[in-house]
Amino acid sequence: MEVRAHAKLNLTLDVLDRRPDGYHDMRMIMQSVELADILDLEYNETGELRVCTNLHFLPNNEKNLAAQAALRWYEGETSQEVGRWDMEDLKRSSNFNGLDIRIEKHIPVCAGLGGGSSDAAAVLRALNEMEDACLAPESVAGIGALVGSDVPYCVIGGTALAEGRGEILTPLPPLPKCWAVLCKPEFSISTPALFAKIDSVRLRCRPDTQGAIAALEAGDLQGVARRMYNVFEDALPERQRARVNDIKNALIQCGALGASMSGTGPTAFGLFDDESAAREAQEHLQDFGGEIFLTRTL
């Protein structure tokens, strides 16, 4: 089975209190876009779970989230202790004969766009269909929560409010169709480092998440775009924050209705209601270096 794993954007992202389990409570509006990895899943007779990608530096073992998703899927079929299996446990399972997962990466890595999480979600959605499990999307998302905080959203997709660690999802009215121009600078961001820093940073402001939800309910694209904000921008090192701000300002000058950073970055994006303006912005941002994408919302 071939399946697409779509990137996500954070239209708003707010970090709330640290929880007793060490995680932070989040409140964020998530949005799917057309930019996607392509996964191909095929049974084999080796008794092994094998992962390969078109990027040589990505793991091809259980450190890959796509492999983790498959482990959690088969573990859930046979074990009450979900979240404990490894590759050796899988080989001993009578329910597993072997699976190849091939990933063609198009979503940039370590970019705040949920590429690994979306790959994991795509594996779960594919196995649900390939094995005729007929699980509801919410049940598949529950398995995804064992893999990573963004995986449940990536199972469901669309426009949604994510709370808790990201696993508590409330569907929202869809964002009016628009174009998004994405620019990932030529550096990456450490997600654990940003989470460790966010508690000690003075936040300049917080996103108006409720106002953005009201704008979605009214079908007001400009209203949503004006309210986009990501508190992790305040936790970036100074030079990286300046770089992200430069990209956001360039997007606004090119006609974006609003611009923000996605996830823990460093990808900055702008929303456009006009395709020609979006294409001009894509061309203009080539001078900034990094990876530039033009995509549409889903």
As a dihedral over the C-alpha atoms of residue 245, residue 249, residue 250, residue 254, rounded to 10 degrees, the angle is: 150
Q: Which of 8, 119, 184, 248 is catalytic?
A: 8
As a dihedral over the C-alpha atoms of residue 294, residue 180, residue 185, residue 210, rounded to 10 degrees, the angle is: -160
Strands 24-43 and 99-104: antiparallel
* Residue 41: partners with Cβ closer than 8 Å, 6 or more residues away: 1, 2, 3, 99, 100, 101, 102, 123, 126, 127, 130
Note whether 292 and 286 are within 8 A (CB): yes
Tokens of 246: 């430069």
Active site residue 8: yes
Note whether 17 and 231 are within 8 A (CB): no
Active site residue 25: no
Tokens of 238: 């100074």
| Distances in whole angstroms, Cα of residue 84 to Cα of each of 77, 80, 145, 199 | 13, 10, 14, 31
Tell me the C-alpha distance between 45 and 43, whole Å.
7
Q: Which of 14, 119, 150, 234 is catalytic?
A: 150
| Count of residues making up the chain | 298
**Annotated catalytic sites, by residue?**
8, 150
